[in-house]
Structure 1
Amino acid sequence: MIALTLDRIAEITQARLGGSARPAELVTGPVVTDSRRVEPGALFVALEGEHADGHDFAESAVAAGAVAVLASRPVPVPHLRVDGGDAEVVAALGRLARSVADRLTGAEIIGITGSSGKTTTKDLLAQVLGRFGRTVAPVGSYNNEIGHPLTVLRADADTRFITVEVAARGQGHIAHLCSVAPPRIGVVLNVGSAHVGEFGSRAAIAQAKGELVEALPEAAGGGVAVLNADDDAVLAMSERTRARVVTYGLAADVDVRARDAELDDAGRPRFTLCVGEHTARVHLRLVGWHQVHNALAVAAAAVEAGADPESVAAALSEAQPLSRWRMEITYSTGGATVLNDAYNANPESVRAALSTLRSLAGAGRSYAVLGHMAELGAQHREAHENVGRFAASSGVTELIVVGDEAAPIADGARSVAAWQGEVRSVADAAEATAALRDRLRAGDVVMVKGSRVAGLEQVAEQLTAQEADK
């Protein structure tokens, strides 16, 4: 973070100094909400939270080196106090992040949104841009009103790029995040049915995602909207922005495209990246067809940030998967491949994962372990049945459906008369593991996917561990 005195932070956050806080003392370290992450010179942000109250850790945070605590009630250590509970503390945190962002005149802020793929795309973009200058990016999926400002506050005068995820739980959320850290470049990946239960329709989701391109500077001011031309709802956002539009996709008439795309034997895409007259080969280390679009989004954003296409292609080919349980492959000693994509799930991402399973398994045996997809509202049954039909049509050898909420997946699969595979319904992750434990053999491929609340990463991890113990 850029060093600031406590009295300046108090002015920015609209807080009052208390607890023997010294106005001229500098905050030079990170801004954190977890007292275990405090370093000398840090500012500790005390949130009441659902499971623990940060105010209870104020003294230990200062003992560990925090200069002060940003709090919503008095604590017996140097602090900056705001009234209004967690909501006002979060608002103060956002004001501090915006002030720091405004000081970072040499840094490009790039925002990424979409129904799926945000974290993977952010990880890729951060690795690519990291070759050209100091880059700050969220850890994991730090993409809400708390994680977003905390990411920005990690930047300093040497930072050249800040890549941020912007997520939405409702209308206006993305607009707010963009007000905290105004992006010059905005990337929209897709508009799917994730969270349709909260938003009500895909059109409403598109409305919310489009807040990113609406927040961009006009073209004359350098604003760039990077849009997926293969998604009609995303492409339509070109009418909602004053920024210059750069398109990417698989068609011949887009600005950044992939040619001759294919998967290698390990399910990793390779293709020719085409940016204007420039072409370069890319061979990703990530798994799945959908990574082609993620990589194209990264290439378009990186080129607009000043990178050359050839270097971008090389960086994409070297980039590693960073976030766990997203198309994560492990290999058991018994020869089975386990594809762990259990971090989250929506209908589009499940279909992408099933397509990858089919490619990886080839003519071999394939097993899909599927849990329920959350936040689909009135579309819950239909969406799950459709996923079951897609799984059966993809030719999966056996479908294991986990939990009562996922039951319509099994119904959908059974409705495909031509399918020669099997479907099995189990209660939980432990039963799913038991159903596969003694059946896997060399060459088999298992894919595990469900919404985060289903906890199906346990299946992948236990299968690998049990296979290794054989």
Structure 2
Amino acid sequence: MIPLSLSQIARAVDAELVAADAADLVVDGPVVIDSRLAGPGSLYVARIGEHADGHQFAPAAVANGAVAVLGLRPIEDVPTLVVPDVQDAFARLARFVVDQSPGLQIVGITGSSGKTSTKDLLAQVLTTQGPTVAPVGSFNSEVGVPLTVCRVAPDTRYLVAEMGADGVGHIAYLTTIAPPRIGIVLNVGTAHLAGFGSVEAIASTKSELVAALPAEGLAILNADDDRVRAMRAVTDARVLLVGTSADADLRASDVRLDDAGRAQFVVHGWAAEPVAVALRLAGAHHVGNALAVLAAARELRVPDEQALAAVQAAGPVSRWRMEIFDLPNGVRVVNDAYNANPDSMAAALRALAAMGSGRRTIAVLGQMLELGDISLAAHEQVGRLAGQLGIDVLVAVGPGAEPIGTEAQADGVSVRFVADVDAAHEQLRGMMEDGDVVLFKSSRDSGLRYLGDRIITEAGGVVPQ
């Protein structure tokens, strides 16, 4: 974080400073919500969660080097910034950091799927030009965004802010913490439909990012999604369309996947002549992500040649998102089980089919959560797609995945129904052979990402820590 005295922070968040010398103590380390991550110069934010009161861990945070604690009440022998609302103060602190960084360029990214992969891709491009801060993993909430913003240092040039939402108004709130000049909207899907109630409510919420852009800003919209395209009506910023549609300003054609599932395409509108692009990232869905990143890079004055090279050189960063492991036993594992919705499930199955040319394909699929009333139909649709793509074997894990398996079986796929992750593990151990391509895909709480890691390590592979 930019160095700030406790007196500066107290004024910024309207805090009462208790048991601290405001003139002597300076926060110049990370802002943390986990006392175990505190270090010299840190500020520990004592949040009260569902299972624990962060104030209990304040002494441990200070013992680890934290300068002070941001909390609701004084803590004995602990320098404390006492506020009536910790979340509000945390957000105000992050905004203060932004306001103290006048040269900072902020890009906001939202969408029902692909946010994390796109922010990873954009961060890899921008890092070639200057110090860049981007979220760790999927830090895209009212907690994750201020945590990310507070990592901004005096020399930070770019901030990539991933913005997620569980309800209407959430993204508008996040834009008050990290006000973007460039906004990217990837898609509007059915993720978290149970919480929103309708796809229209999801679209309205995603459009909050576009509505927050200044007139001199840029909205980068997916031309292939009608709901995203319509967001041009809610912004005063310039609009640039990306996608495969004929009127896209940056348009992709000739999209295909190689035998490793990596996307290749031709981009129009980038140079005087069409340019061939080959990504290291697996899945056709990365084509739209890459176009959005190229558009943002150009707006931020990254030289075209360097932006194109960086996009093609970029690899996966965040865990469990189309991670590919070629194991010593000849099996290829694709671990894409951090999250799932109908769109991302379809993209993963298509990538599996592309990788499976001449090889047996095994899809290990779990339930897609938070889909509300469309859940049954969405799971059945995934099963039908598996059949249409010619997936050889499908392992349906848990009762929630049974509709996937039932539909796939009706379309000729060999299906194994298993009760849970442990049963799936036993099934796979007796099934996998040299040459197989095995996909793990489910919502995070279904647990398949850890099953994928288990299969990988048992075969002698190494997963990132």
Name the TM tier (shorter chain): over 0.9
Partners of 1:437 and 1:466 within 8 A in 2: no
| Residues 308 and 281 (structure 1), Cα distance of their counterparts in 2 relative to 1, 3 Å cut | farther
In structure 2, distance between residues paired with 1:274 and 1:461: 39
Partner of 1:137: 134
Q: Report if the CA contact (8 A) 2:182-2:220 is conserved.
A: yes
Does the CA contact (< 8 Å) of 2:259 and 2:356 recur in 1? no
Letter in 2 for 1:180: I
1:104-143 correspondence to structure 2 within 5 Å? 104-143=101-140
Question: Residue 21 of structure 1: CA displacement?
Answer: 4.0
The CA distance in 1 between the partners of 2:144 and 2:34, in whole Å, is 12
Shift of 1:375: 0.3
261, 264, 278: which one pairs with 1:283?
278
TM-aligned CA distance change 1:382 to 1:162, over 3 Å: same
SS in 1 for 2:159: strand
Instruction: Determine the C-alpha separation between the residues in 1 that align with 2:220 and 2:31.
Output: 31
CA–CA distance in 2 between the matches of 1:211 and 1:331?
A: 41
SS of aligned partner of 1:126: helix
Contact map agreement 2:368 2:442 (CA 8 A) in 1:
yes
Query: Counterpart of 1:148?
Result: 145
Q: Among 372, 377, 380, which residue is 1:377 paired with?
A: 372
1:381-400 equivalences in 2 (<5 Å): 381-400=376-395
Distance in 2 of aligned mates of 1:289 and 1:164: 24
Q: Which deviates the most, 113-122 or 427-436?
A: 427-436
Offset of residue 336 of structure 1: 1.2
Residue 405 of structure 2: aligned partner: 410
Deviation at 1:58, TM superposition (A): 1.4
SS at structure 2 position matched to 1:345? coil
Aligned mate of 1:302, from 279, 297, 300: 297
Which residue number in structure 2 is paired with residue 428 of structure 1? 420
Give 1:230 deviation, angstroms: 0.8
For 2:236, the equivalent position in structure 1 comes to 242
What secondary structure, in the 3-state scheme, does the structure 2 residue paired with 1:133 have?
Answer: coil
Does residue 231 (structure 1) correspond to residue 233 (structure 2)? The answer is no
CA contact (8 A) 1:251 1:257 kept: yes
Q: Which secondary structure state, in structure 1, belongs to the residue aligned with residue 220 of structure 2?
A: strand
Q: Which amino acid aligns with 1:461?
A: D
Deviation digits for residues 209-247 of structure 1, max 9, x if unmatched? 0000000001xxx21000000111110101111110011
Q: Is the 8 A contact 1:280 1:309 kept in 2?
A: no
Structure 1, unpaired ranges of 5+: none
Q: Contact conserved, 2:257 with 2:351, CA < 8 A, in 1?
A: no
Pairing of 1:435-446 with structure 2 (within 5 A): 435-446=427-438
Question: Residue 266 of structure 1 aligns with which residue?
Answer: 260
Residues 223 and 248 in structure 2, CA contact (< 8 A), matched pair in contact too: yes
State whether residues 369 and 447 of structure 1, in contact with CA within 8 Å, keep that contact through their aligned partners in structure 2: yes
Cα RMSD of the aligned pairs, angstroms, is 1.5
Indicate the larger mover: 375-384 or 61-70. Answer: 61-70
1:274-293 CA distance string (max 9 Å, x none): 33435544321111111111
- Select between 137-146 and 383-392 the one with higher mean Cα deviation: 383-392
Question: What is the CA deviation profile of residues 131-170 of structure 1, one whole-angstrom value per residue up to 9, with x for unaligned ones?
Answer: 1111000100001111101111111221110001000100
Q: CA deviation at 1:441?
A: 1.7
C-alpha displacement of 1:466: 3.3
TM-score by length of 2: 0.95
Partner of 1:348, secondary structure, is helix
Q: Deviations over 1:251-284 (max 9, x none)?
A: 3431112233322221111223333435544321
| Count of aligned pairs between the two proteins | 459
Superposed displacement of residue 23, structure 1: 4.4
- Alpha carbons 1:280, 1:313 under 8 Å: kept: no
1:153-232 equivalences under 5 Å are 153-218=150-215, 222-232=216-226
CA distance in 2, matches of 1:160, 1:184: 13
- Mark the CA change 1:276 to 1:288 in structure 2 (over 3 Å): closer, same or farther: closer
Deviation at 1:332, TM superposition (A): 2.1
What displacement does 1:374 show?
0.4
Instruction: String of CA shifts for 1:66-108, please: whole Å, max 9, x gaps.
Output: 211101112121110012xxxx101101001111111211110
Partner in structure 2 of residue 327 of structure 1: 322
1:21·1:68 contact (CA, 8 Å) conserved in 2? no
SS in 1 for 2:277: strand
How far did 1:382 drift? 1.1
Per mean C-alpha deviation after superposition, the further-off stretch among 267-276 and 102-111 is: 267-276
In the aligned structure 1, how far is the partner of 2:377 from the partner of 2:246?
A: 34
- 1:310: Cα distance to partner? 1.8
| Distance (whole Å) between structure 1 residues aligned to residue 319 and residue 8 of structure 2 | 39
- Counting aligned pairs with the same residue, the percent is 52
Counterpart Cα distance in 1 of 2:348 and 2:243: 19
- Name the SS of the counterpart of 1:105 in structure 2: coil
Q: Partner of 1:286: helix, strand, or coil? A: strand
Structure 1 residue runs of 4 or more that deviate by more than 4 Å after TM superposition: none
Cα deviation digits, residues 411-468 of structure 1 (max 9, x gap):
222343xx2x211110111111211212222221111100001100233222223334
Aligned residue in 2 for 1:4: 4
Q: Which residue pairs with 2:69 in the alignment? A: 69
Q: Which amino acid aligns with 2:424?
A: A
**Does the Cα contact within 8 Å between 2:258 and 2:354 map onto a contact in 1?**
no
Taking the aligned partners of 1:122 and 1:171, their CA distance within structure 2 comes to 22
Query: What is the rounded CA distance, in whole Å, between the counterparts of 2:135 and 2:220 in structure 1?
Result: 20
How far, CA to CA, are the matches of 2:253 and 2:303 in structure 1? 18
Flag structure 2 segments of 5+ consecutive residues without an equivalent.
Answer: none
Structure 1 CA distance for aligned equivalents of residues 164 and 382 of structure 2: 24
Distance 1:90 1:201 in 2: 28
Distance 1:365 1:55 in 2: 53
- Equivalent of 1:338, from 318, 325, 333? 333
Distance, in Å, in 2 between the alignment partners of 1:427 and 1:439 is 17
Paired letter, 1:436: L
Query: How many Å separate the matches in 2 of 1:179 and 1:5?
Result: 23
Is the 1:354–1:391 Cα contact (8 Å) retained in structure 2?
yes
Summarize the alignment of residues 40-55 of structure 1 with structure 2, pairs less than 5 Å apart: 40-55=40-55
Q: 1:27 to 1:464 in 2, by over 3 A?
A: closer
Q: Report how far residue 24 of structure 1 moved.
A: 4.8
Offset at residue 191 of structure 1 (A): 0.5
The DSSP-based 3-state class of the residue aligned with 2:255 is: strand
